[in-house]
Homo-oligomer: A and B are copies of this chain.
Amino acid sequence: MPPSYNVYEDRCPARQVLDRLADKWALLILARLQNEPVRFNQLRRDIKGISQKVLSQTLKKLERDGLLSRSVFATVPVTVEYALTDLGQSLVQTVNTFAHWAEQHMDTVLLAQAQYDACAASNPGA
């Protein structure tokens, strides 16, 4: 039987889920949380280049989607810990595969880019 949901369909909820996950910051956050809960500022330090605003927004979205949980501890100053839920854990392997692909095939991609750019430079009109 055909699948109930289809990511190619514009308004299918599965597409919306894919839209949420197909985001570099979301993937990096999920990957960073795979082994242990991590606090807000630690995430900010570890995931180089993320801004506080985007980190905050992305964490909220991932929490809303049930992929991670937010725990507040009444320490001084306050401690907020983010951890993967079971649902988030179920996605981590795929996220890792993705990150590893990027790390492993990077040289090939860089080479392809250089070739493309060289070709474009010698054929400016094409």
* Closest Cβ–Cβ distance, residue A62 to chain B (whole Å): 10
Minimum CB distance partner of A115 in chain B: B66
Determine whether the beta carbon of A110 is less than 8 Å from that of B22: no
Looking at chain A's contact residues, the main secondary structure is helix
Determine whether the beta carbon of A24 is less than 8 Å from that of B24: no
* Closest Cβ–Cβ distance, residue A51 to chain B (whole Å): 12
A36 within 8 A of B: no
Minimum CB distance partner of A117 in chain B: B64
Complex: how many Å from CA A102 to CA B4?
12
**Count of this chain's copies in the oligomeric assembly:** 2
Q: Inside 8 A of A24's CB, which chain B residues have their CB?
A: 15, 18-19, 22
List A62-77 residues whose CB lies under 8 Å from chain B: 63-67
Assuming the contacts A66-B116, A90-B101, A116-B64, asked whether A7 and B21 have C-beta atoms less than 8 A apart, the reply is: no
Could you jot down 17 A-B contacts, CB within 8 Å? Answer: A5-B106, A8-B32, A11-B48, A14-B106, A15-B102, A18-B99, A18-B102, A19-B24, A64-B113, A65-B109, A65-B113, A66-B115, A67-B109, A90-B101, A91-B101, A91-B105, A94-B97
Considering the complex of A and B, which 6 residue pairs feature the smallest CB-CB distances, nearest first?
A66-B112, A10-B48, A10-B49, A22-B24, A17-B102, A18-B102
